[in-house]
Homo-oligomer: A and B are copies of this chain.
Amino acid sequence: MLGNRYEDQDCSIARALEVIGERWSLMIVRDALFGVRRFSDFEVHLDIPKAVLSQRLSGLIKAGVLERTPDPDHKGRFLYTLTDTGLALWPVVHSLARWGRQFCDPGTANRDYTHALCGTELDLHAGCPKCGVTPPPQDVIALRRAHAKQPRTDRVSEILRDDRRLLEPV
């Protein structure tokens, strides 16, 4: 078995991968950037076993990427939201999305990311070329650019299908 540590690799990239390199972790961060906050919503959207999801959420909380607060609408349940450390992963997620869009399967659904204040598409590095700033995720609109051939039909996918501002709660 390969572990999830890179103990002998003394490098900040290795440290970052120990936090978010495990399978599904970055997909959870992606969903959180798109406003998913509830365990049941991550579960239905990611289609992963409860135990795996639970373990990943705990790991991300322990690493300071997510925080867990009581869900005001469901007694005994929780909301999982990105901390400042987690929000700082936006450039990582954005650069991966752009690379995937450019070089991986062209039949995949994908999005344009635009600056909410001026509507300009972000550049490769998540900057707004018109305003000369790098907007934080809450100032980014994700526009559906290409649709999936066989779209998912779970309720979270239906909500996320439309154009939406990042971090807007599902």
- Tell me the A residues contacting B by CB distance below 8 Å: 2, 4, 6, 8-19, 21, 23-24, 26-27, 30, 46-47, 52, 64, 85, 88-89, 91-93, 95-105, 108-111, 124-127, 134, 148, 150-152
Contacts and interface: CB of A to CB of B under 8 A. Distances in A.
A102 B86 CA distance: 12
Give the number of copies in the complex.
2
Contacts of A85: 103
A11 B109 CA distance: 5
A13 to B, nearest CB: 5
Given A21-B21, A92-B95, A15 B47 contact: no
Contact of A101 (B12, B26, B97): B12
Contacts of A17: 26-27, 96, 100
A16 B97 contact: yes
* Top 3 A-B residue pairs of the complex, sorted by shortest distance between their CB atoms: A16-B100, A125-B125, A12-B100
Contacts of A150: 10
